[in-house]
Structure 1
Amino acid sequence: MLAETQTGYFSDEKRWQSWLDVEAALARVQAEAGVIPDWAAREITAAARLEKLDVMKFRTEIRRTMAPVHALSRSLADACGDAGAWVHWGATTQNVIDAGRLLVLKELQADLKGGFALALHRMAGLAETHAETAMVGRTNRQHALPITFGFKVAGWIDEFLRVGERIEECEQRLFQLRFGGAIGAFQSLGEKGPALSARLAEELGLKSALYEGRAQVDTLIEYISCLAMLGVAVSRIGNDLYVLMQTEIGEVTEDLGHDVVGSSTMPHKVNPKLVVALTSEANLLRAKAASAYAVTPPSHEGDAVTNRELRILVEETSLLALSVTDRLAGILDAVVVETGATNRNLASSSDGTALESVMMRLAPKLGRAAAHDALHAAVTRARTTGEPLDSLILSMPEIEGAIDTAALKQLFDPRRNTGQSAAIARQFAVAGRERAGRLETASGANRNTRASAGLE
């Protein structure tokens, strides 16, 4: 479950304070440029704290005017005395709302990176611990070839690394300030407008946009899509675990303690709990991509319908992403690999899952296609007659002399047939930890930047 600090990212109080942070930064850069007096900027900055405003009066004004930024700028002006005349100079509602949202998302993004890092650390631990824990690999839900559980986890890490790269890479486009005034052409600020906007971006820890209009929605849609890809990756992890937990397989369980009850009427049941919550939320997160691409295109130079749709989607999607990473780290810490079940299931099809290796041993002498056909015939006959597969293979005229009993017995040992599973698991354990370390550094650096800018 998310901490209170995480669920509060989009509270009224957090949103309003982000707007105040923008108003204060705007006043400071305008004072630097000689647009407003220095003393006014100091007064505005000092008053731009929510606790210094009459919040009840502010709420009342919002209900009366249905214009929250207008109400906020009036409340801030009232708190500034004579400096209030310079509040919100040359800005427009959407400028402040969009800039404030970016400040909140930067903070949230740091939290998300921390969650990513924790999940990667735990996946790396599982991959390393179970690098040599043999199990059956499955394709199309059928037994295929032996692998290790660590190899399976390596596949999760591989996808998770790319998801993290996408989310980080889109930051350079997402965190661009557009502060061009009512329509984006700096009518209120004139020739000083572009330079003021660039300086404001620097003050807020954002990048400066080349075009500062209000109808650009692609960056938020891209961000939602990247977060939805987290849902895609985690849905696969959750589905893997959920299926491996079913009674007929039983290779994974959740360590929930003895007090957890599976059913109110069936005392024997121990239902999966964590994986159900994880997978359901990951599926909801995955579906947000479709909603993002269905957002109403903005009309002309700005459209409140599109803005409202995107605000709701961004808030829902980013909170879901935080929750999914939090739940993923939780279940990875609770996963128990049941080696008795992995060994039993592996042994149940050890003859069949060895046949690719047998085929490749026979191929230099028989040809790959001929070896494949001979083994297919042998396994078909074994299924029909119940004869031991190894004896059938050794007795086939076309195979006679191509492989001996000892070599065949060795190939039929599934633990000798996991290929490079262990090496790949260890490779991705290292890659996961390295990436987690970089994410932790980036997360901490963002918090330090916000603190130095007075935004914490």
Structure 2
Amino acid sequence: MSIPIRHQGAMADSSNISAVDSNMYRTIFGDDAMRFIMCDTAFEERMVQVEISLARIQANLGTIPKQAAQDIANDCNAAKLDRGRLQQETELVGLPVWGLVRQLSAMVRDETSARYLHGGLNTHDVMDLARSLQMKDALELICSRLDTIRNRLVALTHQYRKTPMVARTHLQHALPSTFGYRTAIWLTSLDRHSERLQQIKPRLLLAQVGGASGSLASLSEHEPEGLRLVRAISEELGLYQPNMPWHAARDGLAEVVSLLALIGGSLAKIALDIVLLQIPEVSEVAEPFVAHRGASSTMPHKNNPVLSEAILALSKMLRQEAGLALDAVPSDFERAGSGAWQLEWAALPQSFTYCSAALKHTEEVLTGLRVDENRMLHNLNLSRGLVAAEHVVVALHEKYGRARSHDIVYECCRQAVQKNQHLSSTLKQREDVTICLSDAEIDWYCDPANYLGLTPRFIDIALAGR
């Protein structure tokens, strides 16, 4: 179907259809810091960097003239690339390096020096090296944002470690807890992700140098030369040296996308808790107030938790990208010809961008999180002692055993609900309870503050050294 004439001009100026690059939604599903690292321009710059570094290394190893390497470094400039032509040639070839090398060769003014460009590597090597450099920067941003959130959670846990609230299971009141315990749970999940991000680097940020099919056959006449090249490129680019080429083993890329999805899931857990705690009937916490954020076009009173909603959406989008990355793992033989490689081109930049946006939103939510301690205490007491019912079971256990004690307290709980009484009142009316516990002891066991278990100790463990 042809585009109506009245829309053709608009399409030329605003043709983005992806949410991450949408003029309308780009700050919800992405952020400029990660976009700067993972965009096409950055990828092109990294590929040019790889070609220049290769020439410099080969000159240092004595395999090409030093003047050629100098000419390549001086004349090759990513800013001078004809990106329209590069796009057309990428579509024609299916890969960007063929067109890139043609343009870079034309930039090198000395024809003799230009002949030494791109010697020994192939398209896969250049693209994987460039992507590894991008991921190295992207991981630094992810780690930095994650650390900021963890520091904020440490502060919240210290501040609210003794703030009583009710723990909920199946969305129902369960046992007494504290808000600091909840934030400590959030914190420890992100602590584990911080460890995973450090652990993944040696498996992910690998140099890829294999030549046409991974054997570096073009350099095999002098075996040490090929191995020195691998080591030198790894050192030059600040990447880890692989024990062998990984062009046909894409597990590391699938691992990082899966890890980003895991991080998104943990951020979504925080966001979901906040969404539920912000329900007016609960009103224990709320996102930071910004005029008109979360507003309604018809209802002036609305204050929707839109940042948390965005985090939840991003976590689901990350999960989808993880599926794509896993589909790219079973590539055929020594070069994926089944579309697996192309899946990475979509999954990697989008996953890093989605995760970075989710981290940015979470940081904003937690930095300005509004906590209503009085409301937490009010909600804790709504059940009139029922949240401490298990504590009474524990108190009766020695006399009646667990099953009988549970039945006794269960009957008292049902009676308390039916008569709209406090649990302690119904307990005091039971002879099988009062022969074991005095009225004062019943009141003590029914006080939520006296049934926090190891909550303080677990918080201490989570905050150790911080």
* Fold conserved between structures, TM > 0.5: yes
SS of the residue 1:178 aligns to: coil
CA RMSD of aligned residues (A): 2.2
1:247 matched residue in structure 2:
280
1:377 aligns with 2:411: yes
- Give the 5 Å matches for 1:43-442: 43-51=71-79, 67-80=95-108, 81=110, 82-190=112-220, 191=223, 192-212=225-245, 214-260=247-293, 262-295=295-328, 297-304=330-337, 305-430=339-464, 433=466
CA distance in 1, matches of 2:70, 2:196: 40
Quick check: 1:180–1:194 contact (8 Å CA) kept in 2?
no
Q: 1:16 pairs with 36, 44, 47, which one?
A: 44
The alignment partner of 1:138 has SS state of strand
| Aligned residues of 1:62 and 1:71 also touching (Cα < 8 A) | yes
Report deviation, 1:64: 6.6
My pick for the range that moved more, 272-281 or 420-429, is 420-429
Q: How far apart in 2 are the matches of 1:398 and 1:172?
A: 64
Deviates more, 1:53-62 or 1:231-240: 53-62
Give the letter aligned to residue 174 of structure 1. Answer: L
Query: Equivalents in 2 of 1:217, 1:66: separation in Å?
Result: 19
CA distance in 2, matches of 1:400, 1:415: 22
How far apart are residue 224 of structure 1 and its match?
0.8
Unaligned runs of 5+ in 2: 1-26
When residues 18 and 261 of structure 1 are mapped into structure 2, their CA distance, relative to the original with a 3 A threshold, is closer
Deviation (angstroms), 1:288: 2.6
Which AA in structure 1 matches 2:328?
Answer: V
What is the rounded CA distance, in whole Å, between the counterparts of 2:293 and 2:53 in structure 1? Answer: 52
Equivalent residues of 1:167, 1:227 under 8 A apart: no
The DSSP-based 3-state class of the residue aligned with 1:297 is coil
Once the two structures are TM-superposed, the CA of residue 237 in structure 1 deviates from its matched residue by 1.0
Q: In the alignment, is the contact (CA less than 8 A) between 1:153 and 1:425 conserved in 2? A: no
Deviation at 1:342, TM superposition (A): 1.0
| Structure 1 counterpart of 2:148, one-letter code | L
CA distance in 2 between partners of 1:364 and 1:224 (Å): 52
Q: CA deviation at 1:156?
A: 0.8
Is contact 2:125-2:208 (8 Å) kept? Answer: yes
Identity %: 28
C-alpha separation in 2, matches of 1:260 and 1:66: 44
1:356-387 CA distance string (max 9 Å, x none): 12222222333333322211122123333445
The offset of 1:400, in angstroms, is 2.6
Paired amino acid for 1:340: N
What's the TM-score, normalizing by structure 2? Answer: 0.87
What is the aligned partner in structure 2 of residue 7 from structure 1?
35
Per-residue deviation, 1:58? 5.5
Structure 1: 5+ residue runs without aligned partners? 434-456
Q: CA deviation at 1:419?
A: 2.8
Residue 207 of structure 1 aligns to a residue whose secondary structure is: coil
Distance 1:26 1:180 in 2: 13
Aligned-partner residue type, residue 433 of structure 2: I
Q: Which one is further off, 286-295 or 353-362?
A: 286-295
Aligned mates of 1:42, 1:18 — CA distance in 2: 18
More displaced, 412-421 or 317-326? 412-421
How much has 1:230 moved relative to structure 2? 0.7
Relative to structure 1, the CA distance from residue 187 to residue 429 in structure 2 (aligned partners, 3 Å threshold; closer, same or farther) is same
Change (3 A) 1:48 1:397: same
Question: Shift in Å at residue 53 of structure 1?
Answer: 5.3
Cα distance change of structure 1 residues 183 and 258 upon mapping to structure 2, 3 Å threshold? closer
Count of equivalent residues: 432
- TM, length-normalised to structure 1: 0.88
Alpha-carbon distance in structure 2 between the residues aligned to 1:131 and 1:324: 26
Checking the alignment, whether the CA contact within 8 Å between 1:350 and 1:413 is kept in structure 2 is no
Alignment CA distance shift 1:196-1:6 (3 Å): same
